A and B are shown apart, each in its own frame.
Chain A
Amino acid sequence: MRLTRRDRLLLFAPLVILLGGWLVVPALVGLTATLTTYTPLTTSVAFARWQNYSDVLHDPQFAEAVRNVAIFTLVAVPLELALGFGIAYLLRRPIRGRSWWRGLLLLPWLVSPIATGVMWHYLFSGATGVVNFVLGWLGRPELGSPIGDVRLALASTIAIEVWRVAPFVTFLVLPGLVAIPEERWEQATLAGTSWFQRIVKVALPEVAPLMLTVGMLLTGQSLGAFDTILILTGGGPGTATLTPALYSYDRAFVTNDWPAGAASAWLIAAGVAVVGAAYIRLSGRWSR
């Protein structure tokens, strides 16, 4: 049906008000503020051009944060997609109680990021943790918590993120796999293809656009990694797990350097915008 201009205005108005007032306007006001000397406490404001951004980009701590979040995203997102897809593939054909397995598997994602941090803090620690309990059974000596170890801290946060997010990928990808017509599988089976070839030739082409969409969501969220790491390590030890989001939070609310906090937060948005532009181009090409 064709909508008139007036219809469209009426239908979009609530969303425009909500997103405008609580997302677009604050973001743009923030952008403007970071080009000045504005802070919530100052009364006089002067134009500062790109000074705040230049300060952040020259801060070695921010460079560490960018490096960490790049590793975090490049390792965690492919692992989440692969693991999530693999589990969804297992659940593709009906098995006894499939919707219950699906619900149970979603449980790790239901644990809030903040609660995830709290939980793994204890699970990794010596006296209460699951890791040392298993090692004790195997007769091995106890280990210190990996989140306190400079070399293992980032890997630990990645592992925890994969644990929490891979089940969500399964939840999102499974409907796409189930929707593949049965004939496609039968044809492939009759042609004598192996299970691996069936994944590559039948499953992946069908769910590729969906995986791309899910990958976009995961990448954006990874670039803003915050809650779990805040509780688990606070960015430490040293700067081993510092992310741009933790850096922004720390600058804006802990060290009271509001312009640096707001500016580095805008750099996260810029990163997501770049990935987003690539996503829109790529998805446009694939659906043609």
Chain B
Amino acid sequence: MRAPRLIAVAAVTGAFLLPLAWTGLAAVGVLPDDSTRPPSWTGPPTLDHIAEIGVAEPTFWQELATSTVAAIVAACLTVAVAIPSAFALARSRFRGGRTVTQGFLVLASLPVMAYVIPLADLSRRVHLIDTFAGVTLAEAAVTAPLAVFVLHGAVAQLPTEWEEAALIDGAGVLRILGRVVLPLIAPSVAATLVVMFVLDWNMLLVPLLLTSGEVKTVPVALSDFFTFERELDWPTAAAALMVSLAPLAVLVGVFHRVLERFVLQAPAGRDIG
């Protein structure tokens, strides 16, 4: 039973990764040659195409840095804001508390397009357009509902004895949150940070519509340097795709154990308290 399952897993993984492998080969200059029958491969592998990204899009490396910093700031902001709310939500008993928590999931599934048009207009009016703060705050708001939902699940699973004990010792609520709850949910917090970073890194509409070129991230660059009027050659495009995927792949590789703690725990029907 074990060997067939391993083969099945390998086959499925291979099928899903084939398009990425194809792109990866193109990025190092190994391309299909359809003119021969049967088709063959061309070229010795080369790293030249990675250098060519900078020729096609001179600010690409700058955009990579902007994306990284914006995603780090936005992910940290989201999680910092979500932790106290998730804690308060899990430790309050009020009518409809379950519905409020589920409401955060519905909010998390709301497409950005639903509210980004007036958001862009408002940002322009309060002069937050084209600013780093404007973009990161909007990105943080987009991902915050999902973070609240996941961290609520993590807090709700904790027994409350430690918190009660700290309360008897005279600790305030912020102290209890920081010293008692936070260390216990640290793995979930780390997993949430990683997923939020991925979501922020890949976000298109917020940086596209809240800036006019000053704060340019990689998805925005990809969207405008692949317009059909100005099409890049495939190896350079593939190299750009691989370079923009690499940081996420490394991040997930490093944190693959911790990511098991990213759990969508629906609130239970019983009272939580």
Contacts and interface: CB of A to CB of B under 8 A. Distances in A.
Contacts of A21: 137, 141
A1 B122 CA distance: 40
B213 interface: no
A110 B117 contact: no
B109 A216 contact: yes
A15 B111 contact: no
Interface string B93-132: 0000011001101111111111111110110100000000
Size band of the interface chain B makes with A:
35 or more
| Among B19, B138, B144: residue with most chain A CB under 10 A | B19
Contact of A101 (B13, B85, B238): B13
Given A119-B19, A279-B106, A40 B124 contact: yes
Nearest to B165: A1
Interface stretch (A49-57, A150-158, A226-234): A226-234
A284 B269 contact: yes
A187 interface: no
Name A's interface SS: helix
A130 B18 contact: yes
B111 A224 contact: yes
| Among B85, B87, B145, B167: residue with most chain A CB under 10 A | B85
B111 A122 contact: no
B28 interface: no
Nearest to B36: A136
Contacts of B106: 216, 220, 272-273, 276, 279-280
Given A15-B148, A279-B106, A231 B226 contact: yes
A25 B198 CA distance: 26
B260 A114 contact: no
B73 to A, nearest CB: 13
B266 A209 contact: yes
Contacts of B9: 87, 90-91, 95, 101
Nearest to B19: A123
Interface string A59-95: 0000000000000000000000000000100110101
Contacts of A224: 110-114
Contacts of B20: 107-108, 111
A176 B260 CA distance: 10
B12 A216 contact: no
A221 interface: yes
Contacts of B226: 117-118, 121, 231
B184 interface: no
B93 to A, nearest CB: 8
Given A14-B80, A130-B22, A284-B269, A3 B117 contact: no
Interface in A216-245: 216-221, 223-224, 226-227, 230-231, 245
A3 to B, nearest CB: 6
Interface in A256-272: 258, 261-262, 265-266, 268-269, 272
Contacts, number: 298
B234 A280 contact: no
A133 interface: yes
A120 B23 CA distance: 10
Interface stretch (B46-54, B56-64, B242-250): B242-250
Nearest to B146: A217
B269 A1 contact: no
B140 A18 contact: yes
Contacts of B141: 18-19, 21-23
11 contacts: A14-B81, A26-B119, A105-B16, A114-B219, A115-B244, A119-B19, A132-B34, A213-B264, A268-B114, A272-B109, A280-B103
Interface of A: 1-4, 7-8, 10-12, 14-15, 18-19, 21-23, 25-27, 29-30, 33, 40, 87, 90-91, 93, 95-96, 99-108, 110-115, 117-123, 126-130, 132-133, 136-137, 139, 142, 163, 166-167, 171-172, 175-176, 209-210, 212-214, 216-221, 223-224, 226-227, 230-231, 245, 248-249, 252-253, 258, 261-262, 265-266, 268-269, 272-273, 276, 279-280, 283-284, 287-288
